[in-house]
Structure formats: structure tokens, C-alpha cells
Amino acid sequence: MAESRRSSDSPSRPERQRSPLVALTIARVLVFLREPGAIFWVFVFPVLLAIGLGVAFREQPPEPARVAVDVADPHAAELVELLGGAAGVQVVQLDRVTLDAQLAKGTVDLAVAFTPPDRFDYRFDPSRSEARVARLVVDAAVQRALGREDVATISEHTEIPPGSRYIDFLLPGLIAMNLMGSGLWGVGYAVVQERKGKLLRRFAVTPMRRSDFLLSFILSRLVFLVIEVVALVGFGALVFDVTVQGSALDVAVLCFVGGLSFTGVSVLIASRTESVEVASGLMNLVMLPMWILSGTFFSYERFPEAVHPVLQALPLTALNDSLRAVMNEGAGLASQLPELAVLAAWGVIPFAIALKLFRWR
């Protein structure tokens, strides 16, 4: 009788247990959602940054050449009259001290003096592109005013090709930079915090595998990757009319591999670090050089050509280049295999090393 009762109370089949990796990943996601500060830095801050930079570098009509004339010049009125009607020229009269100061600061591009009947003196800084352009514009206006005739017929085409604006260049860089920041801080910082709070010691006495523990951080970050990328791309499309020229699936694959590369580096940083301060320093040491060198806000081609191979081997550079190629040029994923190889190497190799080095205490 008792045996029959025990048989009826027991389940007819073994209860299906949830995978430790799945349970840990869900826990990481829930913990993240309870942190308003983390949500702000991952989702809101990149949009605010895109707004600020997009407005600052929005498409505007070309600024006129800023030309200064010394008010004490006895022929200043003639010079102002001569240049005042020229297209693309803005003339101001300043005293000599103010003129010299503004010319040094770049507030004015060119200083002009006139000695009748036909002598003009130009003062400008040849290292500034605006000053060189102002010199050409003013000289053309002066020569035409004095009777020069253009013998060549010129036709101008001023169309802006898709994907060539600064905001088109900037948005893929912001996506990549956000993936790097959320990958490094969202994974490495959290692991070190749990080690400092003695939580990892409790995990050490469980049958949990270190690979499950570390992968749960990585997978939880990838859950939010979709939201991060869609938010930035959608914002760019709605506010700045940014169009993805290539395949959305290719963009998703690049972001997925890029996210994995940064989380792999982050896990390596956190594998033995015990102090939050040390972890912060190491992550800044990794991120700050790439912010400057990897072409997020300006092209890394401004650096000497000899260092380009080194810069192209950085994960942020590879992700920037591949995202811009797909989003702005419509390139296919097959053409980005070198960049994908760089990203995969930065994800797999550091993670494999971290598995060897990781300790619970």
C-alpha cells in the first residue's frame, strides 16, 4: 500500500531541468534591466551623442570666405566696395590689433591690403585649408573686377552621393563604439564586481562550469545588441535620413561578430582582476586608444601610412571599416572576410585564454 502511494506521488517522468547557461543568461538580463544607469549609458547616451555630433556637423551651405580689411588703410573703402559684391566673400573692417589677433586665431581667413592702381597684398596662414580657399576666392574676385575674362567654359556638378555625408560616416562608428563600450563594461566590470563582492566564491563550490559562467555574460550582452543597433540605425534614418545601402542581415552579422570580439577581450581583462579600480583602468587602456586611432570620428588614414596595418588589426577599426562598407557603399559580406577574421580572432583567442586564467577567488 505504502509502495503504491509512493509510486503515485512520484512524477511519471523525470523533470526537465533548465540549462545552467540559459538560467545564468536570463539572470544577467534581469540584473541589467534593474540598473537605470546601465540602460542610460547603453541605449540613451549613444543617441544623445549622435544628436550632438549630427547637429554640429550637419549639412550646411558653404561658409563665405572671411576677409578682413584694416580700417586705417586709406583705400579701405575702395577695397570693401570691390570685394563686397563678390560671391562667397564676407568682408569686415577691423583695427590693426584686432585684425592681427583674429587672423592668428583663425576667426578671419585672409587679410587684404590695396595699393592703387592694381597691387593687392594677401596675409594668411597657408597651413589652414580655409585660408588657402579664401585666397583663391578673393583673388578670382579681384582679377575679374580688374577686367580678367575667363576663357574656359566650366560646368559644375554638386550632387552629394549617398553615404558620403559626415553623419553617414559617423553613425557606423557610433554603433561600433557603443558595442565596444557595452561589451567591455557590461561584461568585465560585472565579473570583477561579483568577485569583489565574494559572490564568485559561492559559485566555486557548485558544479557550474566556468565556461557557462563566462558565456552567460557574453550571451546576455548579445541579447541587448539587437536593441542597441536598431535604436541607433532607426534614429539615424528618422532624424538624419541615413540609409543603409547594403543588406540589413549583413549589418546584423557584423554587429554580432563585433560584439563577440569585445566581450572576449572583456572576459580576459576580468579573468583574474580583483579590483574594480584596476579593471576600470585596464578597460580604459583598451578603449581610449581605439577611440582615437580606429577612425570612429575621423578617418585613421590621417595617421602615417606605415602604421595603417597595425590600426587595421584593431577590432574597432575592423568593425568600423566593415560597417561603413556595408551601410554606406552597399558592399557584400563576402568582401568583408578580412575584417570578420580580425573580429573573430579578437573574440575567440582572448576568451580561450580567459578560460585558462579564470579563477573564482
pLDDT digits over 179-196, tens only? 888 888 777 777 777 777
Same domain flag for 295 and 226: yes
Both 325 and 274 in one domain: the answer is yes
Residue 306 shares a structural domain with residue 261:
yes
* Pick from 334, 290, 27: nearest CA to 179: 290
**Is the separation of the CB atoms in 216 and 27 below 8 Å?**
yes
Q: What is the pLDDT of residue 257?
A: 92
Could you give the dihedral angle defined by the CA atoms of residues 173, 175, 179 and 180, in that order, rounded to the nearest 10 degrees? 20
Spatial contact of 59 and 30, defined as CB atoms under 8 Å apart: no
pLDDT in tens, 221-270: 777 788 888 888 888 888 888 889 999 999 999 999 998 899 888 888 88
Whether 93 and 139 share a structural domain = yes
Whether 209 and 280 map to the same domain: the answer is: yes
pLDDT of residue 8: 46
Cell of 103: 587672423
Confidence at residue 308, expressed as pLDDT on a 0 to 100 scale: 94
With a cut of 80, say whether residue 43 has pLDDT above it.
no
Residues 196 and 301 in one domain: yes
Question: Could you read off the pLDDT of 44-69 as tens digits, one per residue?
Answer: 777 777 777 667 666 666 778 889 99
CA distance 358 to 107: 56
Whether the per-residue pLDDT at 123 is higher than 70: the answer is: yes
Say if 13 falls within a structural domain.
no
Whether pTM exceeds 0.75: no
- Beta-strand pair 119-123/110-115: antiparallel
H/E element, 69: strand 65-70
Contact 80, 91 (CB under 8 A): yes
- Residue 335's pLDDT band, with cuts at 50, 70 and 90, is very high
Which cell goes with 342? 580580425
Regarding whether 278 and 185 lie in a shared domain, the answer is yes
User: Residue 263 burial by CB count (10 A; 0-12/13-18/19+): exposed, middle or buried?
Assistant: buried
Give residue 6's pLDDT band: very low, low, confident or very high (50, 70, 90): very low
Q: Same domain, yes or no, for 183 and 285?
A: yes
Residues 301 and 219 in one domain: yes
User: What local confidence, expressed as pLDDT, does residue 183 receive?
Assistant: 80
Task: Note whether residue 6 is domain-resident.
Answer: no
Identify which has the larger pLDDT, 197 or 265.
265
- What is the pLDDT at residue 1? 46
pLDDT recorded at residue 324? 94
Shared domain check, 127 and 215: no
Has residue 44 been placed in a domain? Answer: yes
**Residues 347, 251 share a domain:** yes
Structural domain contains residue 287: yes
Domain boundary among 116, 145, 174: 145
Sheet order of strands, 119-123 included: 89-94, 65-70, 110-115, 119-123
- 52 with 101: CB under 8 angstroms? no
* Helix ranges (DSSP H) in 241-314: 248-270, 276-293, 308-312
Domain that holds residue 88: 65-145
C-alpha span between 307 and 97 (Å, rounded): 43
| Residue 302 in domain | yes
What CA–CA distance (Å, rounded) separates 195 from 213? 12
In tens, the pLDDT along 106-117 reads 889 999 998 888
Write the CATH number for 99: 3.40.190.10
272-316 pLDDT tens trace: 887 878 888 888 888 889 988 999 888 999 899 999 999 999 999
CB atoms within 10 A of CB 129: 9
**What is the residue whose three cell numbers read 557557462?**
212
Domain boundary among 145, 175, 190: 145
Q: Are residues 238 and 302 in the same domain?
A: yes
Domain boundary among 110, 145, 180: 145
Average pLDDT over residues 23-31: 74
Q: Report the range of poorest mean pLDDT among 92-106, 135-149, 196-210.
A: 196-210
Provide the number of structural domains found in the chain: 2
For a pLDDT cut of 90, what percent of the chain falls above it?
A: 21
Residue 157 forms part of a structural domain: no
3-class DSSP assignment, residue 10: coil
**Between 166-183 and 315-329, two packed helices, what is the crossing angle to 10 degrees?**
140
Note whether residue 9 is domain-resident.
no
Is 174 inside any structural domain? yes
